[in-house]
């Protein structure tokens, strides 16, 4: 279930500080779900029936999609100096 770990860890790293109290509660509830459900929702594109869980699932998937985009390669000459 390494894929789940990477998605959830990336989401926490990138978005944790911006989550509302409601979203944090939804995220905590999501962590209590079975791994099979998490795989269905986060990896296979399914959606939970609970609206709040569905919302946090959408945010996690969107964060994962942004993280998966290839980053442009910048040569050392093009990098800004500190």
Ordered domains of the chain (ranges, CATH)? 2-67 (1.10.150.250)
Q: Does residue 78 have a pLDDT over 90?
A: no
User: What is the pLDDT, as a whole number, of residue 3?
Assistant: 87
Element counts in the chain: helices (H) and strands (E)? 4, 0
Q: Give the pLDDT of residue 79.
A: 57
Tens-place pLDDT, residues 1-48: 688 999 999 999 998 889 999 999 999 999 999 999 999 999 999 999
Residue 32's contacts (CB-CB under 8 Å, 6 or more residues apart) are none
Please tell me the distance from the alpha carbon of residue 59 to that of residue 25, in angstroms, as a whole number.
Answer: 14
Which band of pLDDT confidence, cut at 50, 70 and 90, is reported for residue 67?
Answer: low
Distance, in Å, from the CA atom of 57 to the CA atom of 7, rounded to the nearest integer, reads 10
pLDDT > 70? residue 57: yes
């Amino acid at each position: 279930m390494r894929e789940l770990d990477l998605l959830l860890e990336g989401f926490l790293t990138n978005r944790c500080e911006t989550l509302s109290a409601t979203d944090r509660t939804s995220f905590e509830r999501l962590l209590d779900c079975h791994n099979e459900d998490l795989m269905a929702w986060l990896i296979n594109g399914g959606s939970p029936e609970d609206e709040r869980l569905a919302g946090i699932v959408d945010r996690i998937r969107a964060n994962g999609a942004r993280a998966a985009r290839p980053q442009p390669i910048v040569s050392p000459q093009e990098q800004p100096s500190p």
